[in-house]
Chains A and B, each alone.
Chain A
Amino acid sequence: MTNMILSSAHVQFLLWGATWTLALSAIAMAGGGLIGFVVALSRISPLRIVRVLALLYVQLIQGTPLLVLIFLIFFGLPGLGWDVSALGAASAALIVWVGAYLGEIWRGCIQAVPRAQWEAAECLALTRAQRMRYAILPQAVKIATPPTVGFLVQLVKNTSLASVVGFVELARAGQILNNTLFQPFLIYLIIAGLYFLMCYPLSVLSRRLETRVGYSRRKMMTA
């Protein structure tokens, strides 16, 4: 049994992994946010076919584990003739996954804008696009901020699944380190601690925003 302790090179390696965790989260958030926005609008579209398609997408993705999505893209697509890198597969799976969840969250937020606001916008003879752009979305963004920040926690955590296809982010870096040091308990606890450092501030922020938005929403309802 070797009894090595963490050297600064090891710590640096872990921090390198952590940067990739954050980068992967950013990629997934950017791409998934775009899809989520489209999905949210499609879910309340006046066209039935658009609504059904968006619902189908959401149900399909929310009914399958992210791990299976990653496997499907990383191992499945090369069989169909598309080669994908580990980073490409992980990003694509995460983007698709984030799109489904954020789409559903944001739809709820758009629909949570008080009915009177929709009617008022209609009374001002705004077109549907203008209503969304000037009346509904700005208010929906306010409502959507806390749950979106809360969802970021899920996202940062779930980037750890990219490690299963060999992409070196924090979880994978921990595994590699463990293969040389053989101290799984210590190393995985450190990894868990690093994830906690990334996620906990987001959790706290989300909770804080929630109380603040809750307050301003109550004012909005009674005004």
Chain B
Amino acid sequence: MFQLDYSALLPYWQQLWDGALMTIQLAALSIVTGFVFGTLCAIARRSNVRWLSRLCAIYVESIRNTPFLIQIFVVYFGLASLGLSLSAFTVAAAALAINVGAYSAEIMRAGFGSIPQGQIEAGESLSLSKVQIYWHVMLLPAIERVYPALTSQFVLLMLGSSVASQISAEEVTAVTNYVQSATFRAFESYTVLAAIYLALSFLMRLTFWLLGLVIFPRRRRLRTPI
């Protein structure tokens, strides 16, 4: 009869820990860059420059309608075949950032769209500059409104970073694949991995909730949605 034996994994806890840290690094790096890029894209889609908004639309649609696995292959193997070889970590972070950029662009576009025209006009009549209007009247309220959607998308991205194991970036899934083949304890390894991801996604939601309290003082004080 088969018996579960988690103690076989104990010698590998240091590697699993390092892998989890690498997953966090990957997620954090790509979320920050991807979100900034996506927001710029959302702004560009609202602009009057036709070719620019067209370009952003093509970027968003092509990323959102193709699998991440293929995107990461195109970047990793594609760039290598063109003579540009980057480390697996760089490629994974870049591919993740490109991926989450498209999703945040779409979410932020919805956020910008939900700002009433009257508020923008009010900003204009207070003679705020274009940049000031974008920052105070549009960007911050938009982020506050779509904050839950962004949080979910970022958690999905963190889970999606597991695909980076396919190009041998040493994040936690790749480490577990190695542990599994070294110990022949597949079931135990992958249940531990699932638990690690559960903990990571819980931690991430908690972090974003706390971050929300800091970034949006208005909501903290009034306790009402915007």
Contact = CB atoms under 8 A, between A and B. Distances in A.
Given A65-B173, A185-B78, A192-B74, A199 B187 contact: no
A184 B173 contact: no
A212 B136 CA distance: 33
Given A65-B160, A65-B197, A76-B190, A160 B67 contact: yes
Nearest to B200: A63
A63 B202 contact: yes
A81 B177 CA distance: 20
B74 A188 contact: yes
Given A64-B194, A188-B74, A195-B70, A203 B61 contact: yes
- Chain B: interface secondary structure? helix
B77 interface: yes
A171 B77 contact: no
A220 interface: no
A63 B186 contact: no
B162 A67 contact: yes
A63 B194 CA distance: 8
Contacts of A184: 73-74, 77-78, 80-81
Contacts of B80: 184
A161 B187 contact: no
A188 B70 contact: yes
Interface string B43-82: 0000000000000000001101111111101100111111
A164 B72 CA distance: 14
A108 B1 CA distance: 44
B78 A188 contact: yes
B108 to A, nearest CB: 17
A22 to B, nearest CB: 14
**Count class of interface residues, chain A:** 35 or more
A74 to B, nearest CB: 9
Contacts of A64: 159, 194, 197-198
Contacts of A69: 194
A195 B160 CA distance: 18
A171 B70 CA distance: 7
Contact of B65 (A75, A163, A185, A200): A200
A161 B69 contact: yes
B191 interface: yes
A203 B65 contact: yes
Nearest to A202: B65
Given A65-B160, A77-B187, A192 B71 contact: yes
Given A160-B70, A184-B73, A189-B78, A65 B162 contact: yes
B194 A68 contact: yes
B163 A161 contact: yes
B82 A80 contact: no
A71 interface: yes
A169 B162 CA distance: 20
A178 interface: yes
A67 B191 contact: no
A199 B69 contact: no
Nearest to A59: B198
B91 to A, nearest CB: 13
A69 B173 CA distance: 11
B166 A183 contact: no
Given A184-B81, A188-B74, A189-B78, A160 B69 contact: yes
A20 to B, nearest CB: 14
A141 interface: no
A68 B78 contact: no
Nearest to B165: A67
7 contacts: A71-B190, A72-B187, A76-B186, A76-B191, A192-B66, A199-B64, A200-B65
Given A71-B190, A188-B74, 12 more contacts: A65-B162, A68-B162, A69-B194, A72-B193, A76-B190, A78-B186, A80-B187, A161-B69, A171-B67, A182-B81, A192-B66, A200-B65
